[in-house]
Amino acid sequence: MNLNVDYMISIIPLMTSAATYTIKITVLGVFFSFLIGIAGNIVYYYKIPFLSGFFKGYTEISRNTPIIAQLFFLFFGLPQVGITLSGFVCGVIALSFLGGSYMVEALRSGIESVSKIQKESGFALALSKTQILVYIILPQALRTSLQGLFANVIFLLRESSLIGAIAVPELMHVARSEISMFFRTEEVLLMLTFYYIILIAPISIFFTFLEKRLRYAR
Amino acid sequence: MQDNMNWLEFLISERVLLLDGIYQTIYVSLIALFYSLIGGLLVGFIRCIPNKISAFISRIYLESFRIIPLIVWLFAAFFLIPRFMGRGFSSEASAIWVFTLWGSAEIGELVKGAIQSLPTIQRESALALGLSKTQLYMYILIPQAVRRLIPTVINMATRIIKTTSMLDFVGVIEIVARSRQIIERTVEPFIIWSFVFFFFFFLCYPLTLWSRHLEKKFR
Amino acid sequence: MELRNITKSFGDKKVLDKVNLNVKEGSAIVILGPSGCGKSTLLRCINGLEKTDDGELVFNNIKYGDEKTNWRNIRGQIGMVFQSYELYPHMNVLDNLLLSPTKVQKRDKNEVKEMAISLLKRVGLDDRLKSYPHQLSGGQKQRIAIVRALCMNPKLMLFDEVTASIDPEMVYEVLQVIRDLKNEGMTMIIVTHEMGFAKSASDHVIFMDSGNIVEQSSPNDFFSNPKEERTKQFLNKFLHL
């Protein structure tokens, strides 16, 4: 197996721009997922009647369907009924749809880990339900659910590789196109692996470091 | 599609391809699950051995599946395995190999978690009661570990089913691939993709419910 | 504080059965009883952590406890200390103390801080302003929990088995704080197992069993001449310790 290193170097700009695209789409997906996560937990906390059921249903649907099915439905299915969205938007929507439910669950487990008596002591001190949520529950819940939240971020980064299925120029798709044009499979795959490692590994290490630091701070 | 067919009639008219795709999806999932269980048990045990070298290697094995997306692995396997193993290796076989490696890694972690979660107190009290080490494992630890494992394994099965959807890109003709074939011919993406969407849901959701039920039961 | 015919059930189980209680201002009432007799539930009904099924709650001659009640108002006047201290682990001592008075009673931060420091001085913990709960012992945490409740300027204090989770050596410190509070005239209702404390520091002792008040009298009468059979049985168990 002899690798053409010059070729590998030549595709660096291409791969880098694809990686940037991946980062953009994932950052947005993570952001909206997180928003959904917070929204869902606010709904659960205040026990808002109709929306609680809605979020529960949403969670079930989102976690029991693959992102490919969600993507294809959004990108290929919707135009037939008149809604046409760009590949980028579909990608973000699909990532947010999928990631949102995971964020809701991760935060929820953190919130539920704060003992009931902590809440009660807040009530005994005349705090309102909202004040208890903001000052007592959320700070503790975020620390506890941090690991789950970080895992979700890395999960979404990996899932972004599938968004190439709708022809958006993210890493995997660009790599595939390149291979189908020039057939230098090993070189491209190596570069692809390399790029994913430098995308995900530092984030993973950073998260572990953050986690450890926050644990000592208690 | 003719104008006088509604969505249900359309689906029924395409049932041959759809059912074949469904069959393939379930078939690949089951095989992957089966081999992953075996591999997972192996990996899980290896992970519990306090040997530093084996821990290091298995850690790298695990992390590589956590960092590199599965589709990249599938792709690599699809292109590279036939090159090294000769043309007799089908795309399905490559896919199963990758799925098994991935599934074993994941299930291995679950197995390790289950084994390590068994409280040490039970071990000590059992030894104090005079049970031999083998008896301890057979009658107390293993049944307990299995009980904790089953819901998580069912969860894993759900993930495997969902993940088969990416096999289309490496040439395995499962439900997504069949759907694309149908759409190319009849141009009804909305109906077909809605169908696929609901298919996965109605396959995975009962499994999810079952796993939750078992989790409660085994507490 | 007055409780009239307070009744509460958890499902089929009747936990409080037409309980009547009258607490005069400035007095210290101790409630004794076996586990599950409803004494904690009674306390929790007073500040609304449990809803009563029937009966009236009266505080300062005003009825409260129905749907119209402004609980935050009531809870600002009734302080409660829990068995598990329940300090907020992610905040230091000062922030723990400042949170409610500043956010609920909207008082000036510096004013509260001064009050907090003087209160901490009285319990001997004024050097711990910046410490975090996990750095403190059980006895220290509980004293701070008491101070935290006092920072709200309550008119009535509720203590729910506050020494049950503390090492025996440190129980004295906490009881001392409660004793001092009583001597300053704070109205309080104390649920406890500390018999010695009940005998020496209370004005009135109440014995509950299975949701009813079985006997109530002055501490001397209660411990020397228990009238009811159940009271005698209960006291006998402690004499044998």
- Which pLDDT belongs to residue C124? 84
A140 touches chain C (CB under 8 A): yes
Are B108 and B58 within 8 A, CB to CB?
yes
| Residue C71 CA to its chain's centroid (Å) | 17
Please provide the size of chain B in residues: 219
Q: Which of B72, B164, B190 is closest, CB to CB, to A161?
A: B72
Per-residue pLDDT of chain A (218 residues; tens, 9 = 90+): 577 888 888 888 888 999 999 999 999 999 999 999 999 999 999 989 899 999 999 999 999 999 999 999 999 988 888 888 888 899 999 999 999 999 999 999 999 888 888 889 998 888 888 888 999 998 888 888 888 888 899 999 999 999 988 888 888 888 888 888 888 888 888 888 889 988 888 888 888 888 777 765 54
Read off the pLDDT band of B134 (50, 70, 90): low
**Kind of pairing between the strands at C78-81 and C156-160:** parallel
At C99-139, the pLDDT tens digits run 888 888 888 888 888 888 988 888 888 888 888 888 888 88
Distance CA B24, CA B199 (A): 13
Residue whose entry in the numeric block shows the structure tokens 């809604």: A83
- Which pLDDT belongs to residue A191? 87
Distance CA A148, CA A109 (A): 9
Asked if the model's pLDDT at residue B129 lies above 80, the reply is no
Q: At what angle do helices B15-48 and B91-117 cross, to 10 degrees?
A: 40
Residues of A in contact with B188 (CB under 8 A): 80
In this complex, does chain A touch chain B, defined as having at least 3 beta-carbon pairs under 8 Å apart? Answer: yes
Element (H, E) at C55: strand C54-59
Q: Per the structure block, which two tokens stand in for A100?
A: 């949102």
**Chain A contacts in chain B segment 181-210 (CB below 8 A):** 183, 188-190, 192-194, 196-197, 200-201, 204-205, 208
Are A77 and B190 within 8 A, CB to CB?
yes
DSSP 3-state helix, strand, coil percentages of chain C (rounded to 5)?
40, 25, 35
Average pLDDT (B159-182) is 89
* A contact test, residue of C41, C44, C45, C49 with most A CBs within 10 A: C49
Asked if the model's pLDDT at residue B121 lies above 60, the reply is no
Q: Which of B69, B158, B176 is closest, CB to CB, to A158?
A: B69
- Which pLDDT belongs to residue B1? 46
Residues 6+ apart with CB under 8 A from C99: A125, A127, A135, C88, C91
ipTM of model = 0.84
